[in-house]
Amino acid sequence: MGDTVAGVLRSQRSISPARALLGRMVRRRLVVLSLMVLGVVVFCAIAGPWIAPYAPQRMDIAHRLAPPSARHWFGSDDFGRDVLTRCIYGARLSLTVGLFVVLLSLVCGTILGVVAGYIRRLDGLLMRVTDALMAFPDILLAIALMSALGASAYDVVIALATVYTPRVARVARGGTLVLRELQYIEAAEALGATDRRVMLVHLLPNLVSPLLVQGTFIFASAILTEAALSFLGAGVPPTTPTWGNMIASAQQYMQGASWLILAPGLCIVLTVLSLQMVGDGLRDALDPRLRRLT
C-alpha cells in the first residue's frame, strides 16, 4: 500500500495536484457514465420483448420509411418496421454474442497462455500458433471461419472466440512469465506442488485483473466484428435483426432516410465506446503502476 501511494505521488509530480485530481475525476465520471450507458443497453437486451414498442418483424406498410416521430421514435424502415424495436433486439444479439465470445476466449486463452508460460517445452509451439492466428486480420479470419461453420449465432460465437483467444493467451502468458520468477512460486514448487496446482492455485488468481481488463476490450472488439460480419452478410441470417444487418439493408435508402443508418450505428458506437472506457477505468483502478502512462 505504501508503495502504491508513493508511486502515485511520484507520478503526479510534474502536473499540479488539483489538475491531476480534476483529470482523474473526469475520467471516473466518464467511467460512471459508460457504466450507465451499458446498464441501459443490458436492460434493453434483457427486457427487449417487454419494452419494445412493436414486434421486430411487424410491418406497417402505411408508414414505411417514416422519419422519427411519436409513433416511431427512431423512424421506420423500408418494410415499415420500427427501428427502435429492431435496435433493441439488435442489442440482445450483440451483447449475447459478445458475452459468450468473451467467456469462451477467456477460458481457452487463459489455459493456453498459462500452460505456455509455465511449461516451457510447450511455449514455442503454442506461441507460434497464436502468432499465426494473429497474422489474419480479425474480420478476414472471422468471415473465413463463418464460410466453413454455418450462419447461426452459435457459429458466430465460435468464429469470434477463435479470433480473440490468441489475444487472451498473449496476456495470460505474459503475466505467467513474470509471476513464475517470483519467490512464492519457487516456494510452492519446493514444497512439491504439482504443475497443475501451481497453475490453478498460485498463478491463476494473480492473473485475474489483467485478464478482466483484456476481456472488456475483447467484448468491445467482438461487438465491432460481429457488426461487420452481419453488415457483410456473413453473420446471422438477416431474419434476426442485428445492428450490422440493419445498416446493410439501410444502404439503398440512405438518401432521405439517414436515421436508418444513424440509429444502429450510434448503438454500436455507444456500446463499444462505453466498454472501452470501462476497460480503461478498470485498468487504472486495478493497476496503479500504469497510471504514470495514462
Partner 1 sequence: MTEYVLRRIAGMVVVMFIVTSIVFVISHVIPGDPAAVMLGSDATAADIAALRARLGLDAPLPMQYLDFLRSVAVLRLGDSIFLGRSVTQALLERAPLTIQLTLMAAGLATLLGVPIGVLSAARRGTMADQVVTAFSMTAASLPSFWIGLTLIEYLAVRWHVLPVAGYGPPGAGLLERLRYLVLPAIAVGVPNSALIIRFTRTSMLDVLHEDYVRTARAKGLHPVTVIIKHAFRNARTQVLTVIGLTVAGLIGGAIVTETVFALPGVGNLVVSAVLRRDYPVIQGALLVISGVYVLINLGIDLLYAVLDPRVRY
Shortest reach from residue 59's CB to partner 1, in Å = 24
* Only segment of 100-108, 166-174, 205-213, 254-262 that touches partner 1 (CB under 8 A): 254-262
Q: Which of 149, 153, 177, 193 binds partner 1 (CB under 8 A)?
A: 149
Q: What is the C-alpha separation between 34 and 32, in angstroms, rounded? A: 5
Q: Which of 277, 278, 281, 282 binds partner 1 (CB under 8 A)?
A: 277
Of residues 10, 93, 30, 110, the one with CA closest to residue 276? 30
Q: Which of 1, 62, 70, 148 binds partner 1 (CB under 8 A)?
A: 148
Cβ-based nearer residue to partner 1, 135 or 178:
135
Q: What is the C-alpha separation between 47 and 92, in angstroms, rounded? A: 9
Shortest reach from residue 20's CB to partner 1, in Å = 6
Assess 137 for contact with partner 1 (CB under 8 A): yes
Please name the amino acid found at residue 219.
Answer: F
- Contact between 187 and 257 under an 8 Å Cβ cutoff? The reply is no
Assess 101 for contact with partner 1 (CB under 8 A): no
Assess 258 for contact with partner 1 (CB under 8 A): yes
The counts of H helices and E strands in the chain are 11, 0
Assess 265 for contact with partner 1 (CB under 8 A): yes
Shortest reach from residue 198's CB to partner 1, in Å = 28
Q: Which of 5, 32, 107, 132 binds partner 1 (CB under 8 A)?
A: 132
Q: Which of 91, 95, 156, 227 binds partner 1 (CB under 8 A)?
A: 227
Torsion of CA 160, 162, 164, 166, to 10 degrees: -170
Q: What is the C-alpha separation between 125 and 104, in angstroms, rounded? A: 21
- Contact between 100 and 215 under an 8 Å Cβ cutoff? The reply is no
Cβ-based nearer residue to partner 1, 53 or 137:
137
Please name the amino acid found at residue 107.
Answer: V
Assess 224 for contact with partner 1 (CB under 8 A): yes
Assess 140 for contact with partner 1 (CB under 8 A): yes
Spacing of C-alpha 140 from chain mean position? 18
Assess 135 for contact with partner 1 (CB under 8 A): yes
Residue holding cell 412493436? 54
* Only segment of 62-70, 87-95, 134-142, 179-187 that touches partner 1 (CB under 8 A): 134-142
Determine the Cα angle at 248 with ends 75 and 37, to 5°. Answer: 60
Please give the full DSSP string across 19-46, using - where no structure is assigned: HHHHHHHHHHHHHHHHHHHHHHHHHHHH
Q: What is the C-alpha separation between 138 and 162, in angstroms, rounded? A: 10
Shortest reach from residue 85's CB to partner 1, in Å = 20
Binding interface with partner 1 (CB under 8 A) = 14-15, 19-20, 23, 26, 128-129, 131-141, 143-150, 220, 224, 227-228, 231-234, 244, 247, 251, 254-255, 258, 261, 265, 268-269, 272-273, 276-277, 280, 292-293
